[in-house]
Structure 1
Amino acid sequence: MRDLPFDDEHAPLYSLGQVAEMLQVQQAYLRRLDQQDVISPSRSSGGQRRYSRRDILVVQHVTRMADEGMTLIAIRRILELEQELAALRRELGEARARLRELEDPAARRHGVQGPPGKGRPAR
């Protein structure tokens, strides 16, 4: 079955006005978030901002932080750090998966060994 655009959380489906209405914020607020590089929605061929479901979730997150008194500069840095953390978690997951492959008994039968430790001496 073919995925439809609205199945993709990154598909830019919503206009500035639609998002402002959904989140009950001013359109100027959304423009300012874009101008301050807090969130960068896609653009239509006519240059209009188009928001994905993922963008909308980020705007909600930003709005909560702003409501708690954080500056846009601080919010932008938090978003950057959250992205870095997510990337590091993905890398860690990949490294753990590779380690499990190396520790797998079938892999060891074929001459592949994992790192020293857990009962394996260093060579």
Structure 2
Amino acid sequence: MTADDSFGRIDDDDYPAYTMGGAAELLGTTQGFLRALGEARLITPLRSAGGHRRYSRYQLRIAARARELVDHGTPIEAACRIIILEDQLEEAKRINEEHRRAAESSNPTTTA
């Protein structure tokens, strides 16, 4: 990968740009917390060539939401389940909206 190739990934939310230590520092948490999120299968960090965990900005947002829930007293397993359900709900809403738009475009109503 050249410098020009990597520059294009600056805005890529899925690019695993953060080391475990860097991610923990950004989130104000411990590396153990990030490992626990991985063990709970909430986020699955990619691995560098050397086997080190690497996190994307998208994964950091998920981890930040988990930390928020845990900081408010939610057990980590429950926090992970809540986040998964929130994600499923958002996906269902998106799909429903797509279906609604498709139905409206195929059956336009007339207004008086």
Larger Rg computed on CA atoms: 1
Runs of 4+ in 1 over 3 A off after TM superposition: none
Q: Is the 8 A contact 1:38 1:75 kept in 2?
A: no
CA distance in 1, matches of 2:53, 2:21: 10
Q: Provide the residue aligned with 1:112 in structure 2.
A: none
CA distance in 2, matches of 1:21, 1:80: 24
Secondary structure, counterpart of 1:5 in structure 2: coil
For residue 28 of structure 2, what is the amino acid of its counterpart?
Q
C-alpha displacement of 1:65: 0.3
Q: Which protein has greater RCO, CA pairs closer than 8 Å, 6+ apart?
A: 2
C-alpha displacement of 1:46: 2.5
TM-score (norm 1): 0.75
Q: In the comparison of the two structures, how many residue pairs are matched?
A: 106
Unaligned runs of 5+ residues in structure 2 are none
Which residue of 11, 19, 22 corresponds with 1:18? 22
Percent identity over the alignment?
32
Q: Is the 8 A contact 1:11 1:52 kept in 2?
A: yes
Which whole-Å deviations, capped at 9, do the CAs of 1:49-94 have from their partners, x for residues lacking one? Answer: 1111111111111111001111112112111211211221121111
Q: Provide the residue aligned with 1:34 in structure 2.
A: 38
For residue 50 of structure 1, what is the amino acid of its counterpart?
R
TM-score (norm 2): 0.82
